[in-house]
A and B are shown apart, each in its own frame.
Chain A
Amino acid sequence: MANQLIICEHCDCVYEKVTLARHQKALCLRCAGVLQRYNGLSVQQRLALTLTAAVLWTFANFYPVMSISLQGLKSSATLWDSVVALSLGPITFIALVAAISIIIAPVFQLLLLMWVLSFALSGKRSPAFRLCMRWLEALRPWSMLEVCLLGAMVAVFKLAGMLDVIPGTGLFALAVLSLLLIRIAGRDVRDLWDTV
């Protein structure tokens, strides 16, 4: 019975779950917070998108996000290079924050999703399912790839004033990856609790 009830996380009102059609969402009567959102992804589709995202993650991390040239000298930087650039000097701590938000959190989200979803494909709960699902919840606010994408674009404009800037493979991979991650690692991952 408890599974059929839904509690508004913003004001504690209790509702019965409803079945939503495409593009529909259920709002709380009292505080107008979102209770339920239509989730159009099957487990197969989500797994397929996760594998795509994993490939894009390797592109985004191993190819330079952008390169510049100044009087014949060339230089390029990957996401990791930019974390390293922060780690020099007395500000190392911020490099850790940046590393978590643009590299570590996204890769853990992808690994956990791949693990959980590949078992869910055959209707089974993966080993350590509870732990994995709780980590997926905990990582979400700290994964900031979409901010990283906007930051990379601002950096392109910032440098374009003084030298030649060439956006790299990494930037395009980053653009698609950040959008994919919003779609596959969002709150609706919780539906797995009911389906497997």
Chain B
Amino acid sequence: MNTPPTASELALCLCHSCGLSCDMRAGPTECERCGAPLHRRKVSSLTRTWAYMLTALALYVPANLLPVMNTTMLGSGADSTIMSGVLEFWQHGAWDIALIIFIASIAVPGIKFVSLTLLLVTVQRNSLWARKERSKLFRFVELIGYWSMLDVIVVALVAALVKFQALGTIEPRLGILFFGLVVVFTMLAAMSFDPRLIWETPHNKETSDDVTSH
């Protein structure tokens, strides 16, 4: 396929903050237009993505096992986890709401873990397999990233509203903290991953390593 020249071939570098094509021949370290630091590739992208993702994965366990909120109605209290909230909607026939919460809270982080692992492993093996599709996969991961914050907002609003002392109260529980941290760390993981690594062949990898190590 006839592909256009790449930025490193033309001694250019994209500024991630303002989108300017910066001339790298004079070796600038920051963008002449907006002053943001310039990198041919995000700094230690793979290590940081692995670290953030594994942190998120570790937090995903307590996020799903610990209760996210406690409902006390007329003296009798009950803890609920994310999954029990989904099941409750399902049993009451509200399958659409159950589906929204399930997708946002459980499926989205799961998809992100699987996708990021796939991207990381294939990049580390210098794979040439389905590069266009892997680029698309990364953009999809970026797009769905923050929707997992949904449950945090729901718990916050519900807890702020239901405060009737003896009649009934809803309180947030520790699970929601872990849950929010999962979202933050998976977002950081996706931000640290450099999709341009997908297109790097072993040949031009050496040259770009030279540049980043200055």
CB-nearest residue of chain B to A34:
B139
The answer to whether the Cβ of B83 comes within 8 Å of any Cβ in the partner chain is: no
Q: Which residue of B lies closest to A101 (CB)?
A: B149
B18 to chain A, nearest CB (A): 5
Q: Number of contacts between A and B (CB, 8 Å)? A: 215
Please report the C-alpha to C-alpha distance between residue A193 and residue B17 in the assembled complex, in whole angstroms. Answer: 11
In the assembled complex, A85 has its CB within 8 A of some CB on chain B = yes
Q: Is the beta-carbon distance between A2 and B22 smaller than 8 angstroms?
A: yes
Q: Mark A56-78, 1 if CB is under 8 A from B, else 0.
A: 00000000011110110101110
- Interface residues of B, dominant DSSP: helix
A134 adjacent to chain B (CB < 8 Å): yes
**Residue A10 interfacial (CB < 8 Å):** yes
Which A residues are CB-close (under 8 A) to B156? 82-83, 85-86, 95, 98
Given contacts A10-B139, A30-B3, A154-B154, contact A133 B97 (CB under 8 A): no
B65 located at the interface, meaning its Cβ lies under 8 Å from any Cβ of chain A in the complex:
no
Complex-state Cα separation, A84 to B161, whole angstroms? 11
Q: Which residues of A contact B183 (CB under 8 A)?
A: 97
Closest B residue to A7 by CB, please name it: B14
User: What 4 A-B pairs have minimum CB-CB distances, sorted nearest first?
Assistant: A151-B153, A77-B160, A82-B156, A31-B135
A to B CB contacts below 8 Å, 10 in the list: A7-B12, A9-B19, A29-B3, A31-B195, A82-B157, A91-B172, A133-B18, A151-B153, A158-B158, A163-B162
Q: Apart from A12-B196, A91-B176, A155-B158, what 10 extra A-B contacts exist at CB < 8 Å?
A: A12-B6, A30-B1, A33-B139, A94-B176, A98-B149, A134-B17, A134-B18, A141-B145, A157-B89, A190-B19
